[in-house]
Structure 1
Amino acid sequence: MLAPMRISWLLRLVLLVLVLSGCSMKKGSEVYAGLWQTWEQMDTLLQEQYPDAPPVILVHGWNGGEFTWPSAQELMKLEQALQRDVFFFTYRTGLVANRYPPIEILEEKLDRFLAQYRQVDVVAHSMGGLLIRQYLSHHAENPIRRIVFLSTPHFGTGAAKLLAELGSLQPEGNIQAQEIQPGSDFLWVLNEDSGIELEGHAVLNVLVAPGARWLEGDIVVDPTSAWLPWHAVNIAVRGDHHLGRRLLQMPRVLAFLREGRLPEPDVLPLEHRAWVRFLAHGKPMSFTPSRITHLDDRGRRRNDFSVCCEVRAGLYPLGGNTLVLQHIRPEDTFIFYAPKGSREGVRITGNELISERQPIVLVEKDLAAR
């Protein structure tokens, strides 16, 4: 008989798979016929119609593809409205464990794809937005003019941990899921320069507003993780994680693509979080959750933290681990006990970890500097 924790894990996994895949209730024959019709329409869509105008490039996310977006018929209407071509950039990704390449490798494929254009605008969904940022961080000379991020986990997604656990059932694992966990080496490197790669670009970051009830809103990427604190205008919309399918139903996004006009920003998320890495003489330290104590203002223990990551989570590993803290309040206290039995731990107050400019901060603490 399965233990309650195991059942809970399986239920969460099934729910997440259904959300990410966008399940269909049609009969097999209907799906088969519809696929052929869709590909026929996509064949027409992919033919160049407006060679003198910058195209709009659609970049899907994890487990995505051409079907991340509105139908080919709808996208052809968008082409006519914008008087610009709409093209897909696709890459290898998927739900089951496989030898899918890390995001750092995918950026080179994206570079070769974009090299054929003098200027483009990009709409990127979910992990596709991380791919765009990774590309920009290593390609200062690029043709990208405007960027729209849709439900992008700029600071990771808790769902990735579940997906990584699923991938661990196979020897290959799921490298992409490992990279988009909160606190991963990949995301630390991507965010430690405060979005400098976005300078010089017009950036609209679209996230899903929290739902009033359970399962409403984006249950894959929460607003705090999707918020982009640098060089971007953030707006919130209603819906779920599949914002790509609703591209034509977002007037502010369409106005931005058409005219380059950025809308007024929406409000900042209220929750504060932090990623903390501990160093010893400049070298990253490895540790487990047992080394951490989180106390509230009354001295009661809390468990709003995790440690990333159990396995490698980036093409260029930093070494050590990252402490991921959630729901930080100014009066909280965090104590880190050094691995070699240190009696006195390193104490950090919640107030030290809160920034009014961004909901998630990255902090390094060198124990040798105490």
Structure 2
Amino acid sequence: MLSGLAPARRRLALGLAALVVVAALALTAALVVPRLTAGDVAAVPQETVGPVLLVPGYGGSTASLQTLADRLRAEGRDAEVVEVPGDGTGDMNASADVLGEAVDAALARTGATSVDVVGYSAGGVITRLWLADGGADQARRVVLLGTPNHGTRLADLGQDVGPSVCPEACQQLTTDSALLAELNAGDETPPGPTYVSIWTTADTTVTPPETARLDGALDLQVQSVCADSRVEHGQLPRDPLVQAMVLAELAPGPPVPLTAADCARLSAA
């Protein structure tokens, strides 16, 4: 016990104990990445548009987004599809790192000050992970297409079968996913960009479809614009109406609250 030590030795022991406590606190601080708060990131200017990066969903197929990228280019936008590592079924944090590298490259190539990001399906979760890890001050607009922001029951079913059917990215998309629980804790739309979530009631992959809703984002159900739309999950990036909605939301200025009054115009675009 310290009381049995000479005063000099007792001071030395207390000093060593204090150093251990300080070291432990420093290690803890290094391991915990703080969430961005409104005081950390200023709002990104909405009137000036930069390049568009499109992030594919589970499985990593870039082909699903090529027609949307082509339409964006036809409208004069600089657009590229990000290739996520492997087959897009591994840790989505690694995919978020790749997105960050693609953003840095796009900004350096174009000289722009911010990007727009379109995340399709799990690509929307990848986008949100990148934002939460420090990318929020580089994005002007984030558009999510059929993103399972709060998990999908389809992943739950896959997890019940086992890792051979539900690898890491699938497990990160379950309704009780620790990754999604952390991502959705507090502010679901961190300051910096503005957010739009576009989803369809005919989605049988992201179930229930309402899991695509994101607190703080402009919520756009495709059927709230065109009631007779039957677009399914896999058709979202290729559907002409949805593409027109994406183009409208990527225009300069704030997000546009599209309604049924816009159906005819967008369907003809």
Query: What interval of TM-score do these two structures reach, taking the shorter chain for normalisation?
Result: 0.5 to 0.7
Q: Of 29, 32, 52, which aligns to 1:56?
A: 52
User: Secondary structure of 1:155's partner?
Assistant: coil
Q: Give the direction of change, closer, same or farther, for the CA distance of 1:136–1:126 in structure 2 (3 Å limit).
A: same
* Aligned counterparts of 1:121 and 1:225: Cα–Cα separation in 2: 23
Structure 1 residues 63-114: Cα deviation after superposition (integer angstroms, max 9, x where no partner): 132111253xx74343131x2211011213659xxxx531122222222221
Which residue number in structure 1 is paired with residue 115 of structure 2?
120
2:210 equivalent to 1:224: yes
d(CA) in 1 for partners of 2:71, 2:233: 23
Change (3 A) 1:169 1:84: closer
**Paired position in structure 2 for 1:246:** 239
Contact residue 156 and residue 187 of structure 1 kept, 8 A: yes
Specify the alignment match of 1:80 in structure 2.
74
Displaced runs of 4 or more, over 6 A: none
Q: 2 CA distance for matches of 1:101 and 1:75?
A: 24
Q: Which residue of 2 aligns with 1:191?
A: 184
Is 1:102 equivalent to 2:88 in the alignment? no
**Residues 146-200 of structure 1, C-alpha deviation per residue, up to 9 Å, x if partnerless?**
1110000000001112333455348xx6011111100111111010123152x23
- In structure 2, how many angstroms separate the alpha carbons of the residues matched to 1:56 and 1:248? 19
Who is 2:159 aligned against? 164
What secondary structure sits across from 1:84 in the alignment? Answer: coil
**Aligned match of 2:143 in 137, 143, 148?**
148
User: What is the TM-score when the length of structure 2 is the normalising length?
Assistant: 0.65
CA shift, 1:224, in A, is: 2.2
Question: In 1, distance between residues paired with 2:136 and 2:78?
Answer: 22
Q: 3-state DSSP class of the match of 2:74?
A: helix
- 2:199 counterpart (207, 213, 232): 207
Question: For the structure 1 residues 191 and 141, does the alpha-carbon distance in structure 2 shift closer, same or farther, using more than 3 Å as the test?
Answer: closer
Amino acid at match of 2:90: P
Q: 1:65 aligns with which of 57, 61, 79?
A: 61
Letter in 2 for 1:78: L
For residue 238 of structure 2, give the secondary structure of its aligned residue in structure 1.
helix
The 1-side partners of 2:137 and 2:99 are apart by 11
Unmatched tracts of structure 1, length 5 or more: 1-51, 210-216, 267-370
Identity across aligned pairs (percent)? 26
For residues 114 and 259 of structure 1, the distance between their equivalents in structure 2, rounded to whole angstroms, comes to: 19
SS where residue 96 of structure 2 aligns?
Answer: helix
Amino acid at match of 2:73: E
Alignment-derived partner of residue 35 in structure 1 = none
Moved more, 182-191 or 111-120: 111-120
CA RMSD of aligned residues (A): 2.6
Structure scoring higher RCO (CA < 8 A, sep ≥ 6) equals 2
Contact 1:69 1:247 (C-alpha < 8 Å) held by counterparts: no
CA distance in 2, matches of 1:162, 1:92: 25
CA displacement 1:198-218 (0-9 Å, x = unmatched) = x23121110102xxxxxxx10
Alignment length, in residue pairs? 197
Residue of structure 2 equivalent to 1:346: none
Q: Per the alignment, do residues 247 and 61 of structure 1 end up closer, same or farther by CA in structure 2, a change over 3 Å counting?
A: farther
Cα distance in 2 between the residues matched to 1:120 and 1:248 = 23
1:60–1:90 contact (8 Å) kept in structure 2: yes
Higher helix share: 2
Change over 3 Å in CA distance of 1:255–1:133 after alignment to 2: same
Distance change >3 Å, CA 91–CA 247, structure 1 → 2: farther
1:4-35 deviation line (CA, Å, top 9, x unaligned): xxxxxxxxxxxxxxxxxxxxxxxxxxxxxxxx
Q: Indicate if the aligned counterparts of 2:137 and 2:192 stay in contact, CA closer than 8 A.
A: no
Shift of 1:245: 1.9
Flag the 1:202–1:169 CA change in 2: closer, same or farther, 3 A.
closer
Q: How does 1:28-47 map to 2 (within 5 A)?
A: none
CA distance in 1, matches of 2:54, 2:100: 14
